């Protein structure tokens, strides 16, 4: 039997499921953060970025501190 790096031969099926779910959660969070930063960078390059805006990592939605008047 061959084991992937980081896997131990005595892992129970439930433990393996939890490990895989944890990896997937982390992967998704990283992808959301990268997309968010990429979108923010694009807005700044296009000149539509608002210097007063901020984003929350992991939320996936940009929020503005102050609305333009």
CA distance 59 to 65: 16
Over range 1-24, report the average pLDDT.
Answer: 78
Q: What is the pLDDT of residues 22-58, one digit of tens each?
A: 999 999 999 999 999 999 999 888 886 555 555 555 5
Q: How many CB atoms lie within 10 A of CB 24?
A: 10
Domain limits for position 15: 11-35
The residue among 17 and 65 whose pLDDT is bigger is: 17
Residue 1 lies inside a defined structural domain of this protein: no
Q: What is the pLDDT of residue 37?
A: 96
Residue 55 to residue 36: CA distance in whole angstroms: 8
Q: Decide if 17 is inside a domain.
A: yes
Based on the structure, what is the number of domains in the chain?
1
End-to-end Cα distance, the chain: 66
pTM score over 0.75: no
């Amino acid at each position: 039997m061959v084991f992937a790096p980081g896997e131990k031969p005595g892992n129970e099926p439930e433990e393996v499921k939890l490990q895989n779910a944890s990896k997937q959660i982390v992967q998704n969070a990283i992808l959301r953060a990268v997309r968010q930063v990429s979108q923010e960078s694009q807005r700044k390059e296009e000149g539509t970025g608002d210097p007063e805006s901020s984003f929350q990592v992991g939320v996936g939605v940009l929020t503005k501190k102050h609305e333009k008047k």
